[in-house]
Amino acid sequence: VQLVESGGGLVQAGGSLRLSCAASGSISRINAMDWYRQAPGKQRELVATMTNAGSTNYAGSVKGRFTISTDNANTWYLQMNSLKPEDTAVYYCKLSTRYYVYWGQGTQVTVSS
């Protein structure tokens, strides 16, 4: 299974970006898809989660601004609105199945003030 992320880039504060995470390969028994981010000098943090039942959860710092979704065809999205400079980080998707955990390669998001 491979996860390929896209959609990162440079945006001004207040702008929006949509990240995509496309999974390829044989995937079964998905438990959850998560988006994480890691800013320079900081630990990787969980940003958003979507379970296989469709329930979602968000970090407090992004609640109301970020939305995780899926097209139910092995692609997941993170819609990021009202971006702030503190959202600058490398964003990673993580797919958890019954037996394995897969990570994407990361995509850089930079928010300028």
Residues 15-70 pLDDT 10s: 999 999 999 988 888 899 999 999 999 999 999 999 999 999 999 999 999 999 99
Split at pLDDT 50, 70, 90, the class of 73 is confident
Q: What are phi and psi of 31, to 5 degrees?
A: -95, -45
Q: What is the pLDDT of residue 96?
A: 96
Residues in the chain: 113
Q: What is the C-alpha end-to-end distance of the chain, expressed in Å?
A: 37
Side chain identity at residue 76, one-letter code: W
Half-sphere exposure of 81 (CA within 13 A, CB side): 6
pLDDT at 9 over 90: yes
Phi-psi region of 25 (alpha: psi -120 to 50; beta: other; left: phi over 0): left
Q: Token pair of 97, please? A: 């199945």
The pLDDT mean for the chain works out to 96
Q: What number is the average pLDDT over the span 88-110? A: 96
Please give the Cα distance from 41 to 68 (Å, whole number): 25
User: Rounded to whole angstroms, how far apart are CA atoms 105 and 95?
Assistant: 12
pLDDT at 100: 93
